[in-house]
């Protein structure tokens, strides 16, 4: 099961209503952070997410609203006597900027911080992969894809019976090796299982103008979290951000199942933004959400359900 936890949904500066960007992916007990804007540790505490479960942080780019919470996270981990390494990923200059960050003040982490500079890279990390792709923000900037590995289909009792197989070590061997010899026959895993189940795919653009690479990497994603800072192009000025309509167009072309409109400019109220987004997304025929801070999208049975974790805590 995958939870997508929105710790900060706004852009540029925090407000009373919402914090700056940070998204936590909770998968099989691990917490992966996508960006870590100012105040991310506070947001994690409110959402009851332990920073000690974070082993990987992926920074999209080095504007302050996307990375200034990194030092507080690392210092908190150190205060709590973290021992295992932390991996920080980002675009060009990540090594230089994180090194400078960690050398500021009277502080040095007591655990290893491994820094990785990425281009368009595919990282294989156990049951999932992270792909990075270049976006257009006027400075080195990346988007990220979380892609769960496809899973084998379930064992089919009628097929097992046909080959005289039953639960036990022999099925474990078949699953590990992909084929076995049994009663004089070679049996392949696909002979006794249903269709493979497609792993969940989540794409996060960070800050960007609409670009073709996003459409390519987001193809048939279960969830696309796209920069949708502005309601109309006139508000954009010289900024490298997308509008709601542009995000909807990318989502439609990429045939994604659900679009999350992200990085809302502080000039818009939630109600104003949501009303206009609803009108635009209906025109494009796109299924969408406008997440608030602490909204959680949980992936089950091929789709996402939404709840707010603060509401659950009362």
Q: What is the DSSP string of 96-118?
A: HHHHHHHTSSS---SS-EEEEE-
Per the annotation, the verdict on 65 as an active-site residue is yes
Please state the three-class secondary structure of 126-144 as a single string: CCEEEEEEECCCCCCCEEE
Q: Under a CB-based contact definition with an 8 Å cutoff, are residues 257 and 240 in contact?
A: no
61 and 173 part of one domain = no
Give the active site residue among 3, 35, 55, 65. 65
CATH number of domain containing 31? 3.60.15.10
* Neighbour-count burial for 247-259, b at 16+ CB within 10 Å, e otherwise: bbbbbbbbebbbb
130 and 185 part of one domain = no
Ramachandran assignment for 177, one of left (phi > 0), alpha (psi -120 to 50 degrees), beta (any other): alpha
225 and 112 part of one domain = yes
Per the structure, the complete domain to which residue 268 belongs is given by 2-151+197-313
pTM: 0.89
**Residue from 166, 173, 202, 198 nearest 188 by CA:** 173
Residues of each annotated binding site for Zn(2+): 61, 63, 65-66, 137, 207, 263
pLDDT per residue as tens, the chain (314 positions):
899 999 999 988 899 889 999 999 999 999 999 999 999 999 999 999 999 999 999 999 999 999 999 999 999 999 999 999 999 999 999 999 999 888 888 878 999 999 999 999 999 998 999 999 999 999 999 999 999 998 777 787 887 888 888 777 888 888 788 888 888 888 888 888 877 778 999 999 999 999 999 999 999 999 999 999 999 888 888 889 999 999 999 999 999 999 999 999 989 999 999 999 999 999 999 999 999 999 999 998 778 998 888 765 43
Q: Computed from CA positions of residues 138, 131, 27, 298, in that sequence, does the dihedral angle turn out positive or negative?
A: positive
Residues linked to residue 145 through DSSP beta bridges, in sequence order: 131, 203
């Amino acid at each position: 099961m995958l939870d997508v936890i929105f710790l900060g949904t706004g852009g540029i500066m925090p407000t009373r209503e919402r914090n700056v960007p940070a998204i936590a992916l909770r998968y099989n007990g691990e917490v992966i952070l996508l960006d870590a804007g100012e105040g991310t540790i506070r947001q994690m505490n409110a959402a009851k997410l332990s920073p000690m479960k974070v082993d990987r942080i992926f920074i999209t780019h080095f504007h302050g609203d996307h990375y200034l919470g990194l030092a507080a996270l690392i210092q908190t981990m150190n205060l709590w006597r973290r021992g295992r390494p932390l991996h920080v990923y980002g675009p060009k200059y990540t090594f230089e900027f994180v090194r400078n960050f960690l050398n500021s003040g009277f502080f040095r982490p007591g655990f290893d911080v491994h820094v990785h500079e990425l281009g368009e890279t595919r990282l294989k990390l156990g049951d999932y992969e992270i792909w990075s792709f270049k976006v257009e923000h006027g400075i080195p900037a990346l988007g990220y894809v979380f892609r769960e590995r496809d899973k084998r289909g379930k064992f089919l009792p009628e097929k097992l019976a046909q080959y005289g197989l039953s639960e036990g070590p022999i099925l474990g061997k078949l699953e590990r090796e992909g084929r076995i010899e049994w009663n004089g026959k070679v049996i392949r895993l696909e002979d006794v299982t249903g269709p493979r189940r497609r792993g969940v795919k989540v794409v996060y653009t960070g800050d960007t103008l609409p670009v073709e690479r996003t459409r390519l990497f987001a193809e048939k994603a279960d969830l696309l979290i796209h920069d949708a800072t502005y309601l109309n192009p006139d508000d954009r000025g010289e900024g490298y951000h997308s509008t709601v309509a542009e995000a909807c167009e990318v989502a439609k072309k990429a045939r994604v199942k659900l679009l999350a409109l992200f990085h809302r400019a502080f000039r818009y109220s939630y109600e104003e933004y949501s009303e206009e987004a609803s009108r635009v997304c209906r025109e494009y025929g796109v299924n969408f959400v406008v997440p608030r801070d602490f909204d959680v999208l949980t992936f089950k049975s091929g789709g996402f359900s939404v709840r707010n974790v603060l509401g659950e805590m009362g």
